[in-house]
Structure 1
Amino acid sequence: MEKFLPNILFAVILIAGGGYFAMNVRKLIRNIKLGKDVDRSDRKNERWKNMAKIALGQYKMVRRPLSGILHIVVYVGFLLINIEMLEIVIDGLFGTHRVFQPLIGNGLYGFLIGSFEVMALLVLVAVIIFWLRRNIEKVKRFWNKEMQGWPKNDGNIILYFEMVLMSLFLIMNATDVPFQEAGAGNVISQFIAPWFSGFSAEELHVIEKGAWWLHIVGILIFLNYLYYSKHLHILLAFPNTFYANLKPKGQFTNVEAVTKEVQMMMDPNADPYAMPEEGEDEGEPEKFGASDVTDLNWVQLMNAYTCTECGRCTSSCPANLTGKELSPRAIMMKTRDRVEEVGKNIDANGGEFKPDGKQLLDDYITREELWACTSCNACVQECPIGIDPLSIIMEMRRYLVMEESSAPQELNMMMTNIENNGAPWQYSQMDRLNWKDE
């Protein structure tokens, strides 16, 4: 029994880590589904192409070459190195050691492990550069006011995780005496092995097993940390790019009820006083726009969870660049914070939401932020994974105008002029085209 204790312990840790991750995934899906339904099932070929090009191919990342290339190195390296997880899981459950080496032969096995070691070193270098850019160079977009406290710490914690995991992988290989003696795949670890030359075979075995355990436990911790981190985009970037809005960026959605009313007004044969047909229930009038996260659609809530907090949107926002309050990144972060708060409320009240006297509007996102937006779509264009902060801003503006009749004085004057004069200017209807002669 004692012989199988490590395998039993490994199975328990694996099941606990996987179970907790599955629980958080269910919670994540539940929170995203708090949003209204929206149909994004059209143009499937184009959607698959977007996902392959943007999420898998990192197409938009390299628009800023340095950070883009470094991100691709980390992304590819982490994917490749985690392929070895399959071997680690088998070894952990059955007590084997490098189970694939005799199965596929030293040649192929050495090529794979050698590739993993090279990528581990590249990832380690890239992550160190990221840390230096964030903490020493202090790239401006990482130091906006919304990036203080937890968001700042979260960015560094992820970098530390990746440094430790890559180092443990290389140390594990460097102290594996049979692996080093075989000379198959130790392209990087062979240069680290001499650091441990003063240790006995038993001590090297202890170090190797310690690094092995820390590596696998660290990966499970990292996996479960994702839900609480901006790095949730590792999982959500793929559905987020697939379900992204494919309409032209300048095209906004219309409220169906308003569209029907306008069509009725323009139809000379329509009876505006007609009663609903028998059996037809108009139901409660739909709320215009959004004041809270449950008024947004599920894609917008998924956008909020997918946000990487990279700040490319904010660094390209003309309103933010001129010193205004708006930060598209903060819009997404605040939306995610509110969704999380609503989710915790539901958990605490047996699956039902208990009104808490809060909402996304005013309690999280201010009116000043909303009206600072120029609706230029720069944030949407710059986002490397297809997030659309503007759609949330426009829905909240729609609520302010159509539900609260609350808009800046300049906008109210323009709408009054359009209503009275048929033009944004204070001309009479007869003179409304005079502007073209000035």
Structure 2
Amino acid sequence: MQYLPNILFLIALIGGIGFFVKNVKKLARNIKLGKDVDVSDHKPQRWRNMVRIALGQSKMVVRPVAGLMHIIVYVGFIIINIEVLEIILDGILGTHRLFSPLGGLYDFLIGSFEVLALLVIVAVTIFWIRRNIIRLKRFIKPEMKGWPKKDGNMILYIEFVLMVLFLTMNAADFQLQQSGAEHYTQAGAFPVSQFLLPLMDGLSISTLVIIERTAWWLHILGILTFLNYLYYSKHLHILLAFPNTYYGKVKPQGEFNNLESVTNEVKLMMDPSADPFAAPPADAPVPEKFGASDVMDLNWVQLLNAYTCTECGRCTSECPANQTGKKLSPRKIMMDTRDRLEEVGKVMDANKGTFVSDGKQLLDDYISREELWACTTCNACVQACPVSIDPLSIIMEMRRFLVMEQSAAPSELNVMMSNIENNGAPWPYNQMDRLNWVNE
């Protein structure tokens, strides 16, 4: 019975980490469904982007209030979880405050953790107020109803509870230290949790031990639960923001990629010695689909983008089409891509890793044509995203499919393209008549 807590802790730890690894493998499999793309260029710039944007949070502070609150939660959550290492070792070895021999450094660390925990509690409370009482416009858009709203609040609740458990654990521990309880040696500084001591006055040592142990167990189990909740949550960006900013676009924002298949066709047309009517060789590969109608037609970086989306809504709030009442929401584009990718993954799970057509696709079933053609390609969404997500690239790939595979461009575009073909300009005037305005 002496080692029962250690055994139970090991079971919980192995189970929690094992389930997390299983979900990470599923995540990697889904992302790899995308087409391959070469992102091995500009490595120094990519590293700088990752350090500046993901680690340095440079694009978060563009909006100072939200940026400051996010930095507090980000720094607090990461640094406080350094203590998780001590908790894990204590749980495995059956020790208590294993790092306490560090003396003054340990006191400084615990004291810093407590201050950060208090700041995290304040920050997540402000975030909750902004979402649910002030109800900022970007948090009440149509795509944020149902699960996305619950998910956003759930994360705040979990972070709040984890910090309260941390402070409660420390307060009970501090009280036990002052009471001279066995195994609770003097260690740590408690600048915040000491104010909880009046709530524990008059409690017996056995009751305090129960409170401290309960808070300790709930804290570590809560962290393991949160770790596995990430896969089902928008908070997956905690892990994916770093690779996403590294693989983010490094070319000028206004530069679109050229389709190699189209480039080859143009070269063929411009080659005087080529026979444009010649049949392709029998062993020639089947021409690729132009553009994208489903997630498998996108590249893996775009699918990584979808999983990294924080649903913060900065892209949508900056979108001029959305601001003028159009149906387009860049955030919804990313959420729909992720939802469709998850659906494809579930179909594969049900068919032993093989995708069997389910009669659905990203185009029309998730993203409407109205949304796609509302985009002005201004890149405001790309510029606004704090983790280098590129909704525009997905929109453009789906437009390419509509135009080049289905000839389904809006009538205004068809008229313009006909004018370019016939008149060499978007306007319906013969080239010989272009200078008539001078005479008038």
1:64-83 correspondence to structure 2 within 5 Å: 64-83=63-82
Deviation at 1:118, TM superposition (A): 0.5
The 3 A distance-change label for structure 1 pair 179 and 76 is farther
Partner of 1:362: 364
- The amino acid of 1:97's aligned partner reads H
Distance 1:146 1:434, change over 3 A: farther
1:303 aligned residue: 305
The answer (yes or no) to whether the contact 2:111–2:190 under 8 Å persists in 1 is: yes
Pair 1:291 & 2:284 matched: no
- The CA distance in 1 between the partners of 2:437 and 2:141, in whole Å, is 42
Question: In 2 relative to 1, CA 180–81 (structure 1 residues): closer, same or farther, beyond 3 Å?
Answer: farther
Could you tell me which amino acid in structure 1 is paired with residue 158 of structure 2?
A: F
Equivalent residue, structure 2, for 1:175: 172
CA shift in 2, pair 1:179/1:297, >3 Å? farther
8 Å contact kept, 1:244–1:386: yes
* Maintained 8 Å contact 1:17/1:224: yes
CA positional deviation for 1:282: 2.4
Residue 110 of structure 1: which of 107, 118, 136 is its match? 107
**CA–CA separation in structure 1 for the residues paired with 2:398 and 2:160:** 41
Partner of 2:12: 13
* Cα drift, residue 435 of structure 1: 7.1
Give distance in 2, aligned partners of 1:281 and 1:371: 38
Cα distance, 1:135–1:354 mapped onto 2, change above 3 Å: same
Q: What is the root-mean-square deviation in Å for CA atoms of aligned residues?
A: 1.6
Q: Which digits, 9 at most, give the CA deviation of each residue in 1:103-154, with x for residues without a partner?
A: x2x2010001111000000000000000011101101100001000000000
Distance 1:347-1:436 versus aligned 2 partners, 3 A rule: farther
CA distance in 2, matches of 1:20, 1:36: 27
1:433 to 1:250, Cα distance in 2 relative to 1, 3 A:
farther
1:8-407 → structure 2 map (5 Å cutoff): 8-102=7-101, 104=102, 106-176=103-173, 177-179=175-177, 182=186, 184-273=188-277, 281-407=283-409
Distance apart, 1:180 and its partner CA: 5.6
Contact preservation (8 Å) 1:422, 1:432: no
Which structure 1 segments of 5+ residues have no match? Answer: none
Structure 1 residues 415, 194: CA separation in 2 closer, same or farther (over 3 Å shift)? same
Identity %: 70
Q: CA deviation at 1:188?
A: 1.0
How far apart are 1:261 and its partner, in Å?
A: 1.4
User: Within 2, Cα distance between the matches of 1:199 and 1:395?
Assistant: 65
Q: What per-residue deviation string (whole Å, max 9, x for no partner) do you get for residues 222-253 of structure 1?
A: 00000000000000000000000111111111
Q: CA deviation at 1:430?
A: 2.6
1:112–1:254 Cα change, 3 Å: same
Q: Which runs of 5+ in 2 are unaligned?
A: 180-185
Q: Cα deviations across residues 358-403 of structure 1 (Å, max 9, x unaligned)? A: 0000000000000000000000000000000000000000000000
TM-score norm. by structure 2 comes to 0.96
CA distance 1:128–1:309, change in 2 (3 Å): same
Q: 3-state SS of the aligned residue for 2:337?
A: helix
Query: For each residue in 1:291-342, what CA deviation from the matched residue of structure 2 results, as whole angstroms up to 9, or x when unmatched?
Result: 0000000000010000000000000000000001000000000000000000
Q: For each residue in 1:236-276, what CA deviation from the matched residue of structure 2 results, as whole angstroms up to 9, or x when unmatched?
A: 00000000011111111111111111123234444435666
Call closer, same or farther: CA 1:334–1:435 in 2, change over 3 Å: farther
Query: What's the CA shift string for 1:394-433, capped at 9, x where partnerless?
Result: 0000000000000111000000111111111111233356
**TM-score, normalised to structure 1's length?**
0.96
**C-alpha contact 1:425 1:432 (8 A) present in aligned 2:** no
**How many angstroms apart in 2 are the aligned matches of 1:256 and 1:369?**
27
